[in-house]
Chains A and B, each alone.
Chain A
Amino acid sequence: QVTLRESGPALVKPTQTLTLTCTFSGFSLSTSGMCVSWIRQPPGKALEWLALIDWDDDKYYSTSLKTRLTISKDTSKNQVVLTMTNMDPVDTATYYCARTTLVGATTQPLDYWGQGTLVTVSS
């Protein structure tokens, strides 16, 4: 049974750095083809893909946010961590982590999602 759960602060101040942790079970990020992504959703708005880390520790970022994002993994703890610097009120959103897989050269969709964590940016 695959599960993911996001954790982190509910409130951050402008200019601060946000650190979120995704703790997962039911799969291993050391298994070939496994990947974890972060996606966010401002209140009442659409989903936005942020970052992805794969089993081989390759990292990919949203073009518009790549200067502010860092993704990393701790395979032994089954965790993926996302940091976002210089937070702004427009970054207020629910942040989700989700799993995807690479099957050969074929990408797959986001098949399992965490329940999300709401982060509010306010002074």
Chain B
Amino acid sequence: EIVMTQSPATLSVSPGERATLSCRASQSVSSNLAWYQQKPGQAPRLLIYGASTRATGIPARFSGSGSGTEFTLTISSLQSEDFAVYYCQQYNNWPLWTFGQGTKVEIK
């Protein structure tokens, strides 16, 4: 099983600032990496797939990068609606997909 490790567990950021979230895979997942946003009481929402492609309707302030084992999600200027938990997921090892443990982005 491919283990996904996210850091940090919690990120405290002020509105308008940049947030950088990391995700590491225990073995290469190529670019088959997705990021999801989850707000309390809601289902996860797909933000980024293919490591760097924004899903439909996702604002340009969200960007993803990386390949292989190291990935980054950047939110360029945090808006109030961006405070949430973010999960990375590898979908390279079909279909034994695995998720990271999540990074909570909270208001500083």
Q: How far apart are A52's CB and chain B's nearest CB, in angstroms?
A: 5
Known: A46-B102, A109-B46. A63 touches B87 (CB 8 A): no
User: How many residues does chain B have at the interface if contact means C-beta atoms less than 8 Å apart?
Assistant: 24
Q: Which one of A37, A110, A115 has the greatest number of beta carbons of chain B within 10 Å?
A: A110
Give A101 Cβ to nearest chain B Cβ, in Å.
11
Q: For the complex, is A62 an interface residue (Cβ under 8 Å from B)?
A: yes
A63 touching B1, Cβ below 8 Å: yes
Residues of A with C-beta under 8 A to B87: 46-47
Which of B19-27, B67-75, B76-84, B93-101 is found at the contact surface with chain A?
Answer: B93-101
Whether the pair B32, A107 counts as a contact (CB closer than 8 A) is yes
In the bound complex, do residue A48 and residue B89 qualify as a contact, i.e. CB atoms below 8 Å apart? no
Q: With A and B bound together, what is the CA distance between A50 and B86 in angstroms?
A: 20
Contact among B45, B55, B89, B96 with A62 in the assembled complex (CB-CB below 8 Å): B96
Task: Scan A60-96; emit 1 where CB is below 8 A from any B CB, else 0.
Answer: 1011000000000000000000000000000000001
A24 interface residue per 8 A CB criterion:
no
Binding site for B on A (CB under 8 A): 35, 37, 46-49, 52, 60, 62-63, 96, 100, 107-111, 113-116
How far does the Cβ of B101 sit from chain A's closest Cβ, in whole Å? 5
Max chain B C-beta neighbours (<10 A), residue from A46, A48, A62, A115: A46
Partner of A110, one of B1, B46, B100, B102: B46
Q: Within the complex, which residue of A47, A48, A52, A113 is in contact with B95, where a contact is CB–CB below 8 Å?
A: A52
**Whole-angstrom distance between the Cβ of B86 and the nearest chain A Cβ:** 11
Seed contacts A46-B87, A107-B91, A109-B34; 20 additional CB < 8 Å A-B pairs: A37-B95, A37-B97, A46-B100, A47-B44, A48-B99, A52-B95, A60-B95, A62-B96, A63-B96, A96-B44, A100-B91, A108-B91, A109-B46, A109-B49, A109-B91, A110-B44, A110-B89, A113-B45, A115-B42, A116-B43
Q: Are the C-beta atoms of A49 and B99 separated by less than 8 Å?
A: yes
B92 touches A107 (CB 8 A): yes
> How far, in angstroms, from A100 to B45 measured CA to CA in the complex?
13
